[in-house]
């Protein structure tokens, strides 16, 4: 009897062994599959990261190496340690190059040798990853509103000339000059316009209107962007129309007429070099002209090197920027008349300094609402009211620059760097 039980026990052990043997293959395949698939997923992630980085590098407009060479180098470096994988690597790169844009699409495929799935007859796992990147240099329209009022005299106007010249050179460096337009609006108590612009604004026929000078927008629409239909008069100071060689505290000198939509560096730098200080601070009038120089309603009216500018506000290929700097408070618009009883000139406010601040804020808000990037520079500006006006005018807190010393160049350099970054879209 004992021997029978031993044989039975032996027989049951055999059954267990058979059952275990039968279960071992699928168990090995299941566990091995998890290991092999996890490894393959990890390699796929490494290839994806390398592709993303590689196409960005290959799409750079400053890249001089062939796109396929750049992308392949990134992918090979990422999987170099995986034996049996890099040997199967196939990288397909498709570049598309335009005048101001470069797109690179890439796909990488490999087969990953398995470790344990071989028991199930699966010796390799295939994977494919893809990526695409575009780098585009967008067009740039800039309005540069520069304070040349009396408080800017001496070392301050010298610092401004140097900083503004460097700004122009930076934003127009290299091939991007063909895509960059700059309007420079110097201002004291007012803004002098070139003859070809005044010809469209001032009443009295061509002989009266086509002159360099300062038209009078008046107190009812100092910030209106739409151009009037030859209905403006000349600003007058002590009975003399402010055009030609005449200038005053409310009209800059004859060599300080604004220029619009230019990409000729020599022309822009010549104007900056001629800037001199004198007069009041028509901050609202100047800001409004800076905004007008970016408004498509003025297309074809401002001259310059671009017949199609200012472009529409919603043009995705263009960035519009308004840069306003001052060292003083927005002042009242003062005018005068001859008092025959007292036999002398008397001054009066066409509108107050408070109204000027309101006007400037409205001009900034209007530009920002239309998608313009507004930058402001407060150059040794005193008083919280004045600083708040400039701070609130900027479209972002980081677009406001407060310069306490003479290093206004640092503010202009930072704005130039920011604009060059914004115009480069990836």
Q: What is the pLDDT of residues 123-148, one digit of tens each?
A: 898 999 999 988 877 899 999 999 99
pLDDT of residue 16: 47
How far apart, in Å, are the Cα atoms of 370 and each of 106, 143, 260, 364, 374?
A: 37, 15, 19, 10, 11
Instruction: Give the model confidence (pLDDT) of 196-235 as tens digits.
Output: 999 999 998 888 899 999 999 876 655 666 676 668 899 9
Instruction: Give the model confidence (pLDDT) of 145-197 as tens digits.
Output: 999 999 999 999 999 999 999 999 999 988 788 899 999 999 999 999 999 99
Token pair recorded at residue 91? 């990288």
Is the pLDDT confidence value at 22 over 60? no
pLDDT of residue 176: 82
SS3 212: coil
pLDDT of residue 18: 47
Q: Is the torsion defined by CA of 290, 159, 380, 247 positive or negative?
A: negative
- Looking at per-residue pLDDT, the higher value among 348 and 17 belongs to 348
Q: How confident is the model at residue 62 (pLDDT cuts 50, 70, 90)?
A: confident
pLDDT of residue 274: 96
pLDDT of residue 397: 96
Is the pLDDT confidence value at 8 over 50? no
pLDDT of residue 117: 81
Is the pLDDT confidence value at 97 over 50? yes
Instruction: Give the model confidence (pLDDT) of 68-91 as tens digits.
Output: 999 999 999 999 998 889 899 999
What length is written for the chain? 426
pLDDT of residue 61: 77
Map out the domains of the chain as residue ranges. 2-136, 139-425
Q: What is the DSSP letter of 154?
A: T
Beta bridge partners of residue 318, listed in sequence order: 139
Characterize the bridge pairing of strands 139-147 and 180-187. parallel
pLDDT of residue 15: 52
Which CATH superfamily is 139-425 part of? Answer: von Willebrand factor, type A domain (3.40.50.410)
Instruction: Give the model confidence (pLDDT) of 359-396 as tens digits.
Output: 999 999 999 999 999 999 999 999 999 999 999 999 99
Distance of CA 398 to the CA centre of its chain: 13
Where in 340-411 does DSSP place strands (E)?
344-351, 373-379, 400-403
pLDDT of residue 179: 92
Taking residue 383's Cβ as centre, other Cβ atoms within 10 Å add up to 10
Please give the model's pTM, rounded to 2 decimal places: 0.77
Q: How far apart are CA 230 and CA 211, in angstroms?
A: 13
Percent of the chain surpassing pLDDT 70: 89
């Amino acid at each position: 009897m004992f021997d029978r039980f031993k044989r039975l026990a032996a027989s049951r052990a055999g059954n267990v062994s058979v059952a275990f043997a039968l279960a071992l293959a699928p168990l090995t395949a299941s566990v091995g599959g998890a290991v092999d698939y996890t490894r393959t997923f990890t390699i796929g992630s490494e290839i994806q990261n390398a592709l993303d980085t590689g196409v960005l590098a290959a799409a750079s407009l400053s890249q001089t190496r062939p796109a396929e060479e750049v992308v392949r180098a990134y992918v090979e470096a990422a999987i170099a340690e995986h034996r049996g994988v890099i040997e199967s690597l196939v990288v397909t790169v498709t570049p598309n190059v335009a005048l101001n844009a470069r797109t690179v699409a890439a796909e990488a495929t490999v087969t990953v040798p398995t470790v344990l799935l071989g028991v199930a007859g699966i010796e390799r796992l295939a994977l494919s990853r893809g990526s695409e990147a575009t780098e585009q240099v967008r067009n740039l329209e800039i309005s540069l509103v520069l304070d040349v009022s009396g408080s800017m005299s001496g070392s301050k106007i010298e610092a401004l000339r140097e900083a503004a010249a460097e700004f122009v050179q930076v934003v127009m460096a290299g091939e991007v000059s063909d895509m960059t337009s700059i309007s420079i609006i110097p201002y004291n108590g007012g803004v002098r316009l070139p003859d070809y612009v005044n010809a469209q604004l001032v009443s009295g026929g061509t002989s009266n209107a086509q002159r360099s000078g300062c038209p009078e927008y008046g107190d009812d629409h100092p910030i209106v962007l739409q151009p009037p239909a030859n209905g403006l008069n000349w600003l007058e100071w002590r009975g003399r129309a402010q055009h030609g060689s005449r200038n005053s505290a409310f009209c800059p000198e004859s060599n300080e007429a604004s220029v619009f939509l230019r990409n000729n560096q020599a022309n822009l730098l010549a104007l900056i070099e001629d800037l001199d200080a004198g007069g009041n601070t028509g901050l609202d009038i100047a800001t409004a002209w800076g905004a007008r120089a970016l408004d498509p309603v003025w297309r074809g009216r401002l001259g310059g090197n671009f017949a199609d500018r200012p472009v529409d506000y919603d043009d995705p290929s263009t960035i519009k920027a308004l840069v306003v700097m001052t060292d003083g408070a927005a002042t009242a618009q003062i005018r005068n008349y001859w008092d025959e009883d007292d036999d002398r000139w008397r001054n009066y406010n066409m509108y107050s300094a408070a109204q000027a601040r309101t006007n400037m804020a409205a001009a900034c808000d209007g530009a920002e609402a239309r998608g313009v990037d507004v930058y402001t520079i407060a150059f040794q500006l005193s008083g919280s009211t004045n600083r708040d006006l400039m701070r609130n005018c900027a479209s972002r807190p980081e677009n406001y620059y407060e310069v306490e010393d003479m290093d206004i160049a640092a503010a202009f350099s930072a704005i130039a760097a920011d604009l060059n970054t914004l115009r480069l879209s990836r």
